[in-house]
Amino acid sequence: MDTQSGLRDKVAIVGVGATRQGTHTGLGGYELALRALKEALADAGLQKERLDGVLGANLQGLGIDPVRMSRLVGISPRVTGSLDYGTGGFTTQYAAFLIASGACDIVACVFGRNPPGAMVEFSGAETYDRTHGFYNAAAVRAMGWTRHMAKYGTTEQTLAHVAVTARRNAMLNPLAAFQDPLKFDDYFDDPFVVWPFRSLDIAKVTAGGCAIIMARADIATSCAKAPVYLHSVGRQQAPQTLDDEEHFLLHGMKDVAAQVYSSFIGPGDVDVLAISDASTAAIPQTLENFGFCEEGSSEDFIVGGAIDLGGRLPVNPDGGQLSGGYLVGWLHHVELVRQLRGEAGLRQVSTASVGQYCTTGRFLEDYLSSIYVTQEVFA
Amino acid sequence: MTAPVPQAEDFASGFLDGLKVHEIRLQVCSDCRRSRLPTTGVCTECLSEEYRWVAVDGKGEVHTFVWYMQNLDPEFDGIRELEAPYNVSVIHLDAGPKLIANVLQVSFAELAVGMRVHPTFDTSNEGAPRLGFVPCLRPVD
């Protein structure tokens, strides 16, 4: 039996909302989340009373308590929950569990925050080894890129292409945080922060809100817009860390790939890919581990233009976390829904009916991927 | 200001005691012989709680590394050992496990994945011995 096959196509995203990302002076996380939730309800054509589950999330002390959120909007859900380390995919996976089990019919996933230093401070503030000065999640990813370069002969050209592509896409996204043009020269002129990463390789924190409403498939078909079905989810915890021979090359992703793909859908069927890109190196490493290209060959794939909007596998058309906004993986799901509905405007990927999301969490210990499809794919 | 004292952990003292006498001591499972690094109360292989300390030859190779070219966190401002540019490296010990450390007496241009290194012990701060590594081409201190 396929892993988590009990979820397959039984739950759909019916409504999404997101505020502009960037700075929001004077607004708190709850106000930003509320604006996103109102937009998502209107998007779904649902009254707030129809929500019988509300999920929030908490990251590094900032986040949304779902009980407080429910009180704020005047609803009485059957189930609430809040994930610690509730990045986007982890939270939508739990919403799907609630719905597929019959505990809830319609669940709102709600997140928002207004962190200090929006648009300026590096994401990933965390300390791993105080004695030796090993801190910030970006440094962990940089370890992986150093290893990748040594093992496969890859170069900074890969990262430059990722950063420039993200910005080019963000300039087509009216909600994106970073919209100033970025040229290759700008990238190479940017000083190193944690070699091999420059500042432009690391996502900056941003303020914003996001809401994703999910419903049981039979309810989803009566909502305002075409449902976007959750086809599959793969998740793997891999806490053995340094004992794994290639821990920094994110091989935990391979276990997730084995779960998320099915006899119907493999990497060759994916039309648009969302990669949680807290740093540029996440993109080449994800492409290799999920089988979008051969191990060690991501530089040719990326520099050859495959991930560009007009390429054969567009990645993060909204600008991702690097340029679109860092809302800990939530916005990727909003973008995949908009792409699969054909609502992405100037950044629309042509004929997008299968979208995939991939993320890595904590000290490279927690991997998740989800695949979303339109009705046409499995009907 | 010197580097902060390492976090006190129940099972870390044996490792630190080794550093004080210029030894890398691994916590080795008494039942399945797997070494536990970072130190821990339970073997992740066989769940045994029994262990003994075994001194190993500390040579190894650089598995990967980064260079902090700027200081990103004010908590680390003013720490002599961690003045940018400094590297944080993952050392794959010949004895098996990997650990996080700084490679010392090495330039940005020299440090490389696969470089052979041997340990060096800074015991000038009595309560907080520091383990570092230097390239094998350099003499032992």
Place of tokens 């598995």: B63
Residue B60's nearest CA partner among B126, B124, B18, B120 is B120
- How far is residue B51's CA from residue A25's CA, in Å, rounded to a whole number? 55
Query: Is there a contact between A248 and B3 if contact means CB atoms under 8 Å apart?
Result: no
Q: Give the distance between the most distant pair of CA atoms in chain B.
A: 45
> Using CB atoms and an 8 Å cut-off, which of residues 65-94 of chain B contact chain A?
65-70, 72-73, 75-76, 79, 81-82, 85-86, 88, 90
pLDDT per position as a tens digit, B53-75: 999 999 999 999 999 999 988 88
Q: Which of A234-238, A287-291, A333-337 has the lowest mean pLDDT?
A: A234-238
3-class SS letters over B39-87: CCCCCCCCCCCCEEEEEECCCEEEEEEEEECCCCCHHHCCCHHHCCCEE
Vertex A364 angle, CA A206 and B82, to 5°? 75
- In the prediction, which pLDDT does B5 show? 43
- How far is residue A154's CA from residue A161's CA, in Å, rounded to a whole number? 13
* Chain B touched by A187 (CB under 8 Å): no
Residue A250's nearest CA partner among A201, A290, A194, A293 is A290
The alpha carbon of residue B25 is apart from the nearest alpha carbon of chain A, in Å, by 17
| Residues forming a β-bridge with A326 | none
- For A145, the closest chain B residue by CA position comes to B64
- In the prediction, which pLDDT does B2 show? 54
* Chain B touched by A245 (CB under 8 Å): no
pLDDT per position as a tens digit, A1-10: 456 667 888 9
Query: Is there a contact between B65 and A146 if contact means CB atoms under 8 Å apart?
Result: yes
* Chain B touched by A64 (CB under 8 Å): no
Residues of chain B in contact with residue A200, where contact means CB-CB under 8 angstroms, are none
- In the prediction, which pLDDT does A1 show? 43
| Arithmetic mean of pLDDT, B84-92 | 97
Query: Is there a contact between B4 and A151 if contact means CB atoms under 8 Å apart?
Result: no
Query: Is there a contact between B69 and A136 if contact means CB atoms under 8 Å apart?
Result: no
Helix, strand, coil shares of chain B, percent, nearest 5, are: 10, 35, 55
Query: Is there a contact between B6 and A130 if contact means CB atoms under 8 Å apart?
Result: yes
- In the prediction, which pLDDT does B8 show? 40
Helical axes A282-289 vs A137-152, angle rounded to 10°: 60
